[in-house]
Structure 1
């Protein structure tokens, strides 16, 4: 019985030593006598004890690496502090283990160097405005190298671009000046539109009054009364102002001047209407 027990125990030990469970999302590399033999997939796998050895088990899930703040110089020779996050994933675990030593450290160094190269091709203003374009350019350049490492760079997100204090102050002043400029332009445009509307309203009022006087000459006395009333109201408003300078104008003269303007409007409209009647 003892030899049988010994054999059974040996078989159990061999089974336990040869069985390897790989979790979902991971893969493992097996070397046989110091040389790559095969890749273990998720699930239950068996190897030959003492001959086969698992040298690495790694995840194929998406990973991220923080790129610490780096001092970079722009095209217009301004020093910036830039930090980013690199997202990547192992595509081929064999290449990632045998093609590069210290994969994550290599990715950090490569991303940092590429980030500096891309930013050096842009000015400070371009760096702030075209951040998405820079991310894509960095991503394309990184994947050209990391493909041979069995790694896919998924994206690189630039978190912060911090210019020197003097540059930040200058940019803030420039933005404030631009906002003030737009406000002044909007105000001037509003005043222009208001002046146009007022002129159009005055013109329409003159036309209506001229037509009324032409059709009903007896309404001239009413018009004189309205002009005098407006004159009195305007004088009262001027008197209420502390800084106002009151200039007295003869209402009779102002009425005559107003009548002359109306007469001109009537004369301008009459030929048009008479010509229209003659054509009819």
Structure 2
């Protein structure tokens, strides 16, 4: 056999072997897919959805299956958006919102919506306008957390068919025009003035109530003192009456004489230099008292 034929046969066999090796390597390269932890890959076969590859090593059929979309499953934040809304009390407000979401089912996101960010932003804007239109301005300011919860729930329902999970919705600010701000400031000042007047009036009313309570307490104490004095006098009269009933007229005369003596003693005890004039009846009263006193002792 000529040398040329041997060389040609050897080269032909090596080329076939090399081509076979290249084909096997190409099949391995095309058939083995390593998907990162933060991604999911959408595989198509002849233009139709074949599978969704999760993180790790995956195998597909070379030349038939092809990775068409590589979708990040990390949480995303939409750009801060501003939209005008009118409250139930006809106040124009500008609401700044921000939405966070992530893709859970890439096959729905890829085949059901073209621009997912724009779609979510439009949905949020419509929901915000609708919800704020149901509330007055004071409720928007004071119940922001409830409003955020309502918006998040409604957005989740709206984007459920897109394979998206809304993780958070935030209302960053509610801005008012200058005229509305001035009107609210005037209203706030008027409310503060009204509260101050109410507080002052309450203080005066409380002072009057306390003064009246003090007078009532003093009157009650005075009445109680008078009642005690009256009870004491009644008791004394009762004792005198009892003595009169038991001892006759002499006991009464003795009691009267003692009272006269006590009255004269109080006059004499007063300070100063004065002359005390005793009537003749007083002298007789001393004598009667002394006689009664002696009679009582005997």
Q: TM-score range by the shorter chain?
A: 0.5 to 0.7
The answer on 1:166 being equivalent to 2:121 is no
Structure 1 residues not aligned, in runs of 5+: 208-263
Residue 239 of structure 1: aligned partner: none
C-alpha distance in 1, partners of 2:113/2:79?
Answer: 20
Distance 1:150 1:195, change over 3 A: same
Counterpart position of 1:220:
none
**Equivalent residue for 1:269?**
224
Deviation at 1:145, TM superposition (A): 2.1
CA RMSD of aligned residues (A): 2.9
SS in structure 1 of the partner of residue 93 of structure 2: strand
Query: For 2:99 and 2:18, how far apart are their aligned partners in 1?
Result: 56
2:196 aligned with 1:183, yes or no?
yes
The one-character-per-residue Cα deviations of 1:233-276 (angstroms, maximum 9, x if unpaired) are xxxxxxxxxxxxxxxxxxxxxxxxxxxxxxx8886333332466
Asked if 1:153 is matched to 2:166, the reply is yes
**Cα offset, 1:194, TM superposition:** 5.1
Aligned to 1:100: 113
Structure 1 position 113 matched with structure 2 position 113 = no
Give the distance between the partners of 1:135 and 1:112, measured in 2 at CA.
Answer: 13
What is the TM-score normalised by the length of structure 1? 0.68
Q: Which has more radius of gyration?
A: 2
Query: Any idea what SS the aligned residue of 1:66 has?
Result: coil
Q: Which residue of 1 aligns with 2:50?
A: 37
Counterpart of 1:87 in structure 2 is: 100
2:64 is aligned, of 51, 59, 62, to 51
Per-residue deviation, 1:181? 2.5
Q: Secondary structure at the residue paired with 1:156?
A: strand
Pairwise CA distance, 1:137: 2.5
Q: Paired residue for 2:31, among 18, 39, 54?
A: 18
**1:132 and 2:87 correspond:** no
**Cα–Cα, structure 1 residues 265 and 39, in superposed 2: closer, same or farther, change >3 Å?**
closer
Structure 2 spans left out of the alignment, 5+ residues: 1-12, 236-298
